[in-house]
Amino acid sequence: LVRNLLLDHRLAGEFGHVQKVGYLPDTFGHISQMPQILKLFDILYAMLFRGLDEGEFNSELWWRSPDGSQVLIRHLPTDMGYGNASALPEEKDEAAADLICLARYEVRRAASSVLLAMNGMDHLSARPDLPALLQKANQTACSEFFFQQTSLETYFAHLANALNGKELQMVSGELRDANRTAERDNRLLPHVLSSRMYLKQQNERAENLLERWAEPWSALAWLDGAEYPQAFLDKAWEWLLQNHAHDSIGGCSVDAVHSQMETRFTWASEIAEGITQESFDLFARQIDLSGLKEDEAALVVFNTLPFPVEAGITVDIDLWDFFVKRVALLHWQKDYAENETESTAEFPEIFQQRVRRYWYNDPVVLPETGYRGLRIRPLGSEESLAVQLESAQRGYVLRPFVSGPATERRGDRVRVSFLGMLPACGYQVYAVKPLQTPNKCEVVSLPHNVLENEFLRVRIDPNGTLSIDDKKNGETYTSLGYFEDGSDCGDAYNYSNAAQERLENSLGCATRISRLEAGPAVQRYIIEYDWSLPARLDKSRQRRVKDRVTCPLSVNLSLAQGTPRLDLRVDFDNRVLDHRLRMVFPSDVKTDRSYASEAFDVVEHPIRVIPVPASAWVEDAPTTFPLQDWIDLSDGRRGLCLIVRGLPEYEVL
């Protein structure tokens, strides 16, 4: 939102003027700190539609943020929205009569004599005969009303002058209520939060790359004399912001719209990744590597967090073929020459020479260029770290020259884990040496299906759920992380289960539980399911069919030393239609509130929502809520927090 307003001001300024009005007519709910953001841009007025039930409110009222900032808002008519004058007839007399009727209707909710008729909207082109139509309306209205075509900025100036300090009603914080007023149709459409979830995940990744990697490290590189990549960052933000229109990021448009979004997310992420890599390369070239030995390469691990990390970390190391061969050559001892005096040699050396000569016809003995392990030490220390080699795969990278063709580097990408110590917003250099001997880490001695560090003890139960002991306060949490799958016959705006629901869960599924790592830095397990689910809804869309399809599902668990959290990665191969998949974490926390991280705020949500009266029903009051990074339940003594990446909707049952 901040970046959007910054870009808006720059672009509008290029046209000569910025209208200082927060135009929020069709957003599917509003964040609590929106008034604060608007005020910081010197925007004192806003207009909105969804998320605020009409109730007993006037059209004009104050909207206050948790920090105390407030803006004057015009709440648009909840049964006509932001186009209340968009359907005027072609015939001028008829259109004039409609405008007068609209004005008499708007007086009902108005707190002042200044009313608002919205003729334009995003589905219509401008009406060229509007001035003549208004002239006719003024003639017909006589002195009852005066109609004037103007800008929203001028409208709010007249409104503020007419109110002249009049006391108005106040609304506060997040605005996400459903319609509760009879004969109105103010739909919130809350479940866009999880429509096309893949878009939300791509969005989170692009935002994270820009906000937390590309920009801060570019700023640090600029302080060190590098040119700041402003144009590239602006272009990346432009691609990203083009995806943030409500019907785009909401996931409620046609497939073609969202295919183009994926391309923009890719472009924004590629720019951010490239800029980050350039900043890292710049720093790496300036690091004093005089402490490296001839057979070592430097590994630089960056920490973007504002606090130090002392914990098990996992990194990918590229071992280029030319480097591994060079290290091997350094340790190559050539055969004795024919004229070399053998009397000075020890007998084992003489024996080996005779064997090579008479058994193998004395071929050239080349060094073995493979490796079986890695030695890693912090630069400046001779003490080797305990290194877990987790995987290795062949790969290559093209590195362009300053001019001319690219050079291809081939090698192995090796994933390793070790106990790292990274300074806040800084980096640590490690010396890496290939070894002919394998790494033999001390294996953490634990019962099967158990992960444990100094903070947590995690047990994987036979049905795939988790039991976690909090070693700090003695609390235990059980049956965490099972899966629930139900029907969905709704649309891209709203979830709706089928009339004849069959809610299934993974608690009865057979599981395969395998230990992947049990080293001193990181412990890993994988839980695998072959979950059979109904293939689709039937033609009536009232029930799920009896045909079933197996959908592979896996959960990777990682517990690092020094980290008071359990990391989960879920992979689900979706082969069925018309359903909603959720992961469930029973907390046993007794509370009536949940708390979620949102834009510049921690927002409190009720667990039991007040239902919509039948007389006013157009949709249910939402029981699912937005989150940006985490959601927490706590009773003041025990609590459970889930931290997520790109999953912006949750529910407390």
Count of alpha carbons within 13 Å of 473, Cβ hemisphere only? 9
For the segment 496-507, the average pLDDT, to the nearest whole number, is 95
Q: Is the pLDDT of residue 327 over 80?
A: yes
Q: Tens digit of pLDDT for each residue in 81-96?
A: 899 999 999 999 999 9
Q: Tens digit of pLDDT for each residue in 335-385?
A: 555 545 456 778 888 887 777 776 666 555 667 778 999 999 999 999 999
Residues 6+ apart with CB under 8 A from 191: 490, 493, 494, 495, 622, 624, 649
For residue 622, the 8-state DSSP code is P
For the segment 632-646, the average pLDDT, to the nearest whole number, is 95
Amino acid identity of residue 435, one-letter, is L
Neighbours of 347 (CB within 10 A): 8
Express as a percent the part of the chain with pLDDT over 70.
95
Range with the poorest average pLDDT among 62-71, 244-253, 332-341, 634-643:
332-341
Separation CA 310–CA 418 (nearest Å): 11
For the segment 204-222, the average pLDDT, to the nearest whole number, is 96
Q: Tens digit of pLDDT for each residue in 372-394?
A: 999 999 999 999 999 999 999 99
Q: Tens digit of pLDDT for each residue in 418-476?
A: 999 999 999 999 999 999 889 888 888 899 999 999 999 999 999 999 999 999 999 99
Q: Give which of 599, 445, 411 is closest to 518, Cα–Cα.
A: 445
Under the banding of pLDDT at 50, 70 and 90, the label for residue 403 is: low
For the segment 159-167, the average pLDDT, to the nearest whole number, is 95
Q: What is the pLDDT of residue 190?
A: 94
Separation CA 633–CA 295 (nearest Å): 52
Q: Is the pLDDT of residue 402 over 60?
A: no
Place of tokens 């300074």: 423
Q: What is the pLDDT of residue 368?
A: 76
Distance of CA 285 to the CA centre of its chain: 32
Phi then psi for residue 371, to 5 deg, are -145, 150
Q: Is the pLDDT of residue 404 over 70?
A: no
Q: Tens digit of pLDDT for each residue in 45-87?
A: 999 999 999 999 999 999 999 999 999 999 997 788 899 999 9
Separation CA 174–CA 187 (nearest Å): 16
Q: What is the pLDDT of residue 362?
A: 56
Instruction: Work out the mean pLDDT of the chain and round it to a whole number.
Output: 93
Helical ranges in 118-243 per DSSP H: 130-141, 152-163, 197-208, 215-223, 230-241
Q: Is the pLDDT of residue 194 over 70?
A: yes
Q: What is the pLDDT of residue 346?
A: 84
Under the banding of pLDDT at 50, 70 and 90, the label for residue 646 is: very high
For residue 508, the 8-state DSSP code is G
Q: Are 648 and 203 in contact (CB under 8 A)?
A: no
CA distances from 295 to 223, 234, 374, 434 (A): 33, 42, 12, 8
